[in-house]
Amino acid sequence: MSVQQTVDRNSQTGTFMEYADIPGTELKVSRVTLGTWAIGGWMWGGSDEAESIATVKAALRHGINVVDTAPVYGFGRSEEIVGKALAGGLRKDALIATKVGLEWHDGKITRNGSRERIMREVEDSLKRLKTDRIDIYQVHWPDPSRPIAETARAMRDLYEQGTIRAIGVSNFSVKQMDEFRSVSPLHVLQPPYNLFERGIDKEILPYCKKHSIATLGYGALCRGLLSGRMRAETKFSGDDLRRHDPKFQTDRFPQYLAAVEQLDRFARERYGTHVIELAVRWVLDQGITTALWGARRPDELTPVEAAMGWSLDSAAKTEIDRIIAETVVNPVGPEFMAPPEYA
Ligand code: NAP
Instruction: Return the CATH superfamily for domain 5-227+280-309.
Output: NADP-dependent oxidoreductase domain (3.20.20.100)
Q: Which residue among 48, 221, 280, 293 is best mutated to probe the pocket of ligand 1, counting the most ligand atoms within 8 A of its Cβ?
A: 221
Residue with CA nearest ligand 1 atom 47: 224
Please report the pLDDT score of residue 10 as a whole number: 72
Please report the pLDDT score of residue 343 as a whole number: 47
Successive 10-residue mean pLDDT values, the chain, 343 residues: 72 83 98 94 80 97 97 95 96 97 91 97 98 98 96 98 98 98 98 96 98 98 94 85 86 95 98 98 98 96 96 98 96 71 56
Query: How many alpha carbons fall within 13 Å on the CB side of residue 110?
Result: 9
Q: Which residue among 33, 37, 196 is best mutated to probe the pocket of ligand 1, counting the most ligand atoms within 8 A of its Cβ?
A: 37
Q: How far apart are CA 164 and CA 137, in angstroms?
A: 6
Residue with CA nearest ligand 1 atom 36: 218
Q: How far apart are CA 55 and CA 61, in angstroms?
A: 10
Radius of gyration of the chain (CA): 19
Q: Which positions ≥6 away from 105 have C-beta within 8 Å?
A: none
CA 299 to centroid of chain Cα atoms: 19
The bridge status of strand 290-294 relative to strand 214-217 is: parallel
**Catalytic residue check, 73:** yes
Q: Give residue 36 CA to ligand 1 midpoint distance, Å.
A: 8
Q: Give residue 116 CA to ligand 1 midpoint distance, Å.
A: 31
Domain residue spans in the chain?
Answer: 5-227+280-309
